[in-house]
A and B are shown apart, each in its own frame.
Chain A
Amino acid sequence: MKKLLKNDGFQSLLASLICILLGLLIGYIVLLFINPAGAWEAITTVIKNFLTYNRKDSQLKYLGNTLVKTAPLLMCSLSILFSYKVGLFNIGAAGQYCIGIACSLYCALALKLPWWVCALAAMAGGAVAGSISGLLKSYCNVNEVISGIMLNWIILYLTNMLLNGVKESASPYTKEVAGTSAASVLPTLGLGKLLSDNKYVGLSIPLAILLAVAIWIILEKTKFGYELRATGGNKNAAKYAGMAEKRNIIVTLAISGALAGLGAAMLYLTSYEQWNCSSSSVPGMGFNGIAAAFLGGLNPIGAILSSFFIQHITAGGAYVDKKLYCAQISDLISSFIIYLCGFVFFMKLMMNKRLAKREEAAARKALAEKESKGGEVK
């Protein structure tokens, strides 16, 4: 048991679970304040998500919808954690995701290119956005958080401008990809059939999981990952050891950007969502990626689970009874939980402190016993 408690992976898992429970608890308390009558039902609805449906096929279908949005979230969280390992906080993931939307939808709707070209364009767009932050960081010492936030706004309005040409005439939303350019829709690989013919389910889910594993391998097993983590751990030491730390920063942010951009393509090329050309903020997906990355203990494999969980409760929030609570309540509850998810490392620190204290007390006790037994005092 003691050994298990000291295991790093187990600690991360435990800390994540504690954070989730705390988040749910606070969410529940807030619901109690607003309207005590429906609080319990509301919080269970959030946790149940697609399980609120009684029929098996409905359940499967809505599980499918949650999965469709899990894929882009996972990509954003991979984008965040990949830079984080290199000591960079890629808050620009939100903008990189947004430029991914712009590139993929423009290629699909205006140029009617095949899906894989659209996806590559999204990756390229994200990579360019990421490398701008990287270049500024490396050569002008501009903090990547500042440049990332600025770029988020620039990209948002560029996206609105670019996609204005491919929107429906009667609404601010872009045309549906499926109806405009069938070749641009992500292949479903027949996966939708497993989930009550959910037409949005497809390539994105296995691809995102595959990429998570690939990121893990790159970071942990390769020379490239060794260099990147060394740069993140101590960039002075990386420089001292002759690593090209400036190049590594740019490459890292470019890869992060490509991941976030691809995440956008994974969602928008399924036609599940359309872009609102009068949006006044970047999609929250990139920011939720931060929570997913931390909740997953900054481990790509952990990110698969945490992304699913966060998407699960976000979707679950939509089922809360709107007669008892206002429409924003679903977002509020999930934000509480997501907010608490950021505390995983704080939890881990607290656990380690407790362990160290306990061990010390035990050691002292053992020593005292030894001395009282009449053993020689050294």
Chain B
Amino acid sequence: MDTPYIIEMLHITKRFPGIIANDDVTLQLKRGEIHALLGENGAGKSTLMSVLFGLYQAEEGEIHMNGKKVEINDPNDANALGIGMVHQHFKLVECFSVLDNIILGVESTKGGFLQKDEARKKVMALSEKYGLHVDPDAKIEDITVGMQQRTEILKMLYRENDILIFDEPTAVLTPQEIKELMQIMKNLAAEGKSILFISHKLAEIMEVADRCSVLRKGKYIGTVETKNTTMEELSAMMVGRNVNFHVDKKPSEPGKPVLEVKNMTVASKVHKNNAVKNVSLTVRAGEIVCLAGIDGNGQTEFVYGLTGLEPLVSGTITLCGEDITKAKIRERSLKGMSHIPEDRHKHGLVLDYSLEDNLVLQRYFEPEFTNKAGFLRRDNIRSYADRLIEEYDIRSGQGPITKARAMSGGNQQKAIIAREIDKKPELLVAVQPTRGLDVGAIEGVHKSLIEQRDAGKAVLLVSLELDEVMDVPDRILVMYEGEIVGELDPKATTQEELGLYMAGAKRDEVKA
């Protein structure tokens, strides 16, 4: 035990077909520290953690524990070594209680029957000790995301794990819940647990971590003590250049209303309540309105209702003065609605189609691309694709014939944005348009949205990223549990105030 490091990942290299996800990466975790792993999307953070957790095997490199080499071939090995992980998307059984989820896989039994009393005592003791408040009998599907996360943490503690991996734990939390989590992490470290904390949010890292290792494009850049560094230095390490955090834009000049939604109610797919309750809002020409809120508060369903992917329970939608409540998706699109979908793989692209075929996905039926006999006009599709690729700087291996699947996430997103903007919409619905993009690409997307606004179009932005919510729109509407609970002016509000609305702690009566 002469090493201060509990876990050392030495010279790890992990390849996937066509890409080196980790290239000679070294990461050393000290006993009892909170160690942040920082990097852009696609930098290889999750891959590295998956190697440590036994989900992937590295081609090169060694993992040492307390100075001795160990083999981790699957998550069971990792568990046996005391390594636990809270995944970005929780691994919980929705219809089980909190307690059942915690003991799942390590149930103590007597004669084949579950012995839950002892487990309950242990869970309650742990919950007390670290300030992890949960209701052990509540079902997962009924509790908040924050409590689900605490369940995941208790799961690790119940298994007596000493090395805890948190994969982007704050992405789904409110600012208040984030604070709570930070405190929990500090408590855990104080009790001797060692924590690896994956994030690309600099402020959180500065607040909670002792040290921070930075990855960029699969390569190890360096490790710094957070008390000796600044956010600017970290971000420069992360992206390899200085980044302009601020979005430049002129004041907006709103014109006449383009979109008017009145009393929209949309049913939920997952529970019996309505996901969107009686929502009314207006978006005018020349303004960006942001629908903010924590994931799962009805924004997705609102967009589905608005774009026609799901039927409304009640309410009306008016686009440029025309009632489109009952219009089909195609009609809405032809009447001037463009939709950058939340999930580009689920809705935005046909991944096995070429880039050019994806670029005409909303227009293939127009006479420009289909002749009277119903045959596609391939030449026109190609020249159209070439123009969009040039104009929107969409990069890919083989140009228009590249399969969408083979393109990077950022360029896939650029293709969708190009397609949706180029059809000259009156209303652009952009749902989390920067999700999964790196800092450089985010700048570009924000610029496109503001260009649309300046060209007199109406933009409805739905976002979960606080920075984006504060910087891009001209008005913020906060959604909480399916209702709009506040309208804020981004210039006059603070992240703290926004957080209170998002968490449902504060609400106004909003007239749209």
Chain A residues in 8 Å Cβ range of B349: 234, 237
Question: From residue B358, how far is it (CB to closest CB) to chain A in Å?
Answer: 9
Chain A residues in 8 Å Cβ range of B329: 239-242
The one of A221, A226, A238, A359 in contact with B357, judged by C-beta atoms closer than 8 angstroms, is A226
* Interface hit among B143-151, B266-274, B370-378: B370-378
Question: From residue A45, how far is it (CB to closest CB) to chain B in Å?
Answer: 42
Taking CB atoms and an 8 Å cut-off, the chain B residues in 13-70 that contact chain A are 15, 17-18, 20
Chain A residues in 8 Å Cβ range of B333: 241-242
Chain B residues in 8 Å Cβ range of A234: 346, 349-352
Chain A residues in 8 Å Cβ range of B309: 239-240
Q: How far is the CA of A360 from the CA of B59 in the complex (A)?
A: 13
Contact bitstring A227-262, B, C-beta under 8 A = 1, else 0? 101100110111111110000000000000000000
Taking CB atoms and an 8 Å cut-off, the chain B residues in 309-351 that contact chain A are 309, 328-333, 339, 341, 346-351
The one of B307, B341, B352 in contact with A233, judged by C-beta atoms closer than 8 angstroms, is B352
* Closest chain A residue to B419, Cβ basis: A241
At the interface, yes or no: B364 with Cβ under 8 Å from chain A? yes
* Closest chain B residue to A361, Cβ basis: B15
At the interface, yes or no: B252 with Cβ under 8 Å from chain A? no
Chain B residues in 8 Å Cβ range of A53: none
Q: How far is the CA of A236 from the CA of B328 in the complex (A)?
A: 15
At the interface, yes or no: A357 with Cβ under 8 Å from chain B? yes
Chain B residues in 8 Å Cβ range of A237: 346-350, 361
Q: How far is the CA of A226 from the CA of B371 in the complex (A)?
A: 13
Q: How far is the CA of A239 from the CA of B331 in the complex (A)?
A: 13
Contact A360-B364, Cβ < 8 Å, known A222-B375, A236-B346: no
* Closest chain B residue to A360, Cβ basis: B15
Contact A240-B348, Cβ < 8 Å, known A223-B374, A360-B15: yes
At the interface, yes or no: B90 with Cβ under 8 Å from chain A? no
The one of A223, A233, A360 in contact with B365, judged by C-beta atoms closer than 8 angstroms, is A223
At the interface, yes or no: B5 with Cβ under 8 Å from chain A? no
**A229/B15 in contact, CB under 8 A:** no
**A357/B17 in contact, CB under 8 A:** yes
At the interface, yes or no: A146 with Cβ under 8 Å from chain B? no
At the interface, yes or no: A356 with Cβ under 8 Å from chain B? yes
**B348/A222 in contact, CB under 8 A:** no
At the interface, yes or no: B362 with Cβ under 8 Å from chain A? yes
At the interface, yes or no: A224 with Cβ under 8 Å from chain B? yes
Chain A residues in 8 Å Cβ range of B351: 233-234
**B353/A230 in contact, CB under 8 A:** yes
**A240/B374 in contact, CB under 8 A:** no
* Closest chain A residue to B362, Cβ basis: A241
Taking CB atoms and an 8 Å cut-off, the chain A residues in 335-366 that contact chain B are 352-353, 356-357, 359-360
Question: From residue A12, how far is it (CB to closest CB) to chain B in Å?
Answer: 15
Chain A residues in 8 Å Cβ range of B365: 223
Chain B residues in 8 Å Cβ range of A356: 17-18
Chain A residues in 8 Å Cβ range of B330: 241-243
Contact A242-B362, Cβ < 8 Å, known A230-B350, A237-B349, A360-B18: yes
Question: From residue B22, how far is it (CB to closest CB) to chain A in Å?
Answer: 14
Contact bitstring A206-223, B, C-beta under 8 A = 1, else 0? 000000000000000111
Contact A233-B350, Cβ < 8 Å, known A226-B376, A239-B329: yes
Q: How far is the CA of A237 from the CA of B18 in the complex (A)?
A: 27
* Closest chain B residue to A223, Cβ basis: B370
Taking CB atoms and an 8 Å cut-off, the chain B residues in 216-262 that contact chain A are none
Q: How far is the CA of A238 from the CA of B358 in the complex (A)?
A: 11
Contact bitstring B92-112, A, C-beta under 8 A = 1, else 0? 000000000000000000000
Contact A224-B328, Cβ < 8 Å, known A237-B350, A240-B339, A356-B18: no
Question: From residue B374, how far is it (CB to closest CB) to chain A in Å?
Answer: 5
Contact A236-B376, Cβ < 8 Å, known A360-B15, A360-B18: no
Question: From residue A226, how far is it (CB to closest CB) to chain B in Å?
Answer: 6
Chain B residues in 8 Å Cβ range of A242: 328-333, 362
**A233/B374 in contact, CB under 8 A:** no
**A222/B328 in contact, CB under 8 A:** no
The one of B18, B307, B332, B364 in contact with A226, judged by C-beta atoms closer than 8 angstroms, is B364
Q: How far is the CA of A223 from the CA of B20 in the complex (A)?
A: 39
Q: How far is the CA of A229 from the CA of B331 in the complex (A)?
A: 22
Chain A residues in 8 Å Cβ range of B331: 242
**A353/B353 in contact, CB under 8 A:** no
Taking CB atoms and an 8 Å cut-off, the chain A residues in 62-83 that contact chain B are none
Q: How far is the CA of A242 from the CA of B349 in the complex (A)?
A: 13
Q: How far is the CA of A373 from the CA of B329 in the complex (A)?
A: 59
Q: How far is the CA of A236 from the CA of B304 in the complex (A)?
A: 12
Q: How far is the CA of A353 from the CA of B361 in the complex (A)?
A: 30
**A360/B17 in contact, CB under 8 A:** yes
Q: How far is the CA of A237 from the CA of B347 in the complex (A)?
A: 4
Chain A residues in 8 Å Cβ range of B364: 223, 226-227
Chain A residues in 8 Å Cβ range of B352: 233-234
* Closest chain A residue to B15, Cβ basis: A360
Chain A residues in 8 Å Cβ range of B341: 240
Chain A residues in 8 Å Cβ range of B361: 230, 237, 241
Contact bitstring A88-124, B, C-beta under 8 A = 1, else 0? 0000000000000000000000000000000000000
Chain A residues in 8 Å Cβ range of B18: 356, 359-360
Chain B residues in 8 Å Cβ range of A223: 364-365, 370, 374-376
Q: How far is the CA of A233 from the CA of B346 in the complex (A)?
A: 11
Q: How far is the CA of A7 from the CA of B328 in the complex (A)?
A: 40
Chain B residues in 8 Å Cβ range of A239: 309, 329, 347
Q: How far is the CA of A240 from the CA of B304 in the complex (A)?
A: 10
Q: How far is the CA of A243 from the CA of B360 in the complex (A)?
A: 13
Question: From residue B371, how far is it (CB to closest CB) to chain A in Å?
Answer: 9
Q: Which of B349, B350, B351, B370 has the most CB of A within 10 A?
A: B350
Q: How far is the CA of A340 from the CA of B377 in the complex (A)?
A: 39
Chain B residues in 8 Å Cβ range of A352: 17
Taking CB atoms and an 8 Å cut-off, the chain B residues in 88-146 that contact chain A are none
Chain A residues in 8 Å Cβ range of B362: 241-242
Q: How far is the CA of A25 from the CA of B356 in the complex (A)?
A: 43
Chain A residues in 8 Å Cβ range of B370: 223
Chain B residues in 8 Å Cβ range of A359: 18
Question: From residue B328, how far is it (CB to closest CB) to chain A in Å?
Answer: 7
Q: How far is the CA of A230 from the CA of B307 in the complex (A)?
A: 19
Q: How far is the CA of A197 from the CA of B330 in the complex (A)?
A: 57
* Closest chain A residue to B16, Cβ basis: A356
Chain A residues in 8 Å Cβ range of B347: 236-237, 239-240
Question: From residue B327, how far is it (CB to closest CB) to chain A in Å?
Answer: 10
Taking CB atoms and an 8 Å cut-off, the chain B residues in 367-398 that contact chain A are 370, 374-376
* Closest chain A residue to B371, Cβ basis: A223
**B376/A229 in contact, CB under 8 A:** no
Q: How far is the CA of A222 from the CA of B373 in the complex (A)?
A: 9
**B17/A224 in contact, CB under 8 A:** no
Known contacts A233-B351, A234-B351; 19 further A-B pairs (Cβ under 8 A): A221-B376, A222-B376, A226-B364, A230-B353, A230-B357, A233-B353, A234-B346, A234-B352, A236-B346, A237-B348, A238-B350, A239-B329, A240-B347, A240-B348, A241-B329, A242-B332, A243-B330, A357-B17, A360-B18
26 A-B interface contacts by CB (under 8 A): A222-B375, A226-B357, A226-B376, A227-B364, A229-B350, A230-B350, A230-B353, A230-B357, A230-B361, A234-B350, A237-B347, A237-B349, A237-B350, A239-B309, A240-B329, A240-B339, A240-B347, A240-B348, A242-B328, A242-B329, A242-B333, A242-B362, A353-B17, A356-B17, A360-B17, A360-B20
Interface of A with B (CB < 8 Å)?
221-224, 226-227, 229-230, 233-234, 236-243, 352-353, 356-357, 359-360
Task: Please name the 10 residue pairs, one residue from A and one from B, whose CB atoms are nearest each other, closest first.
Answer: A242-B330, A356-B17, A242-B329, A233-B350, A240-B347, A223-B370, A234-B350, A233-B352, A241-B361, A222-B374
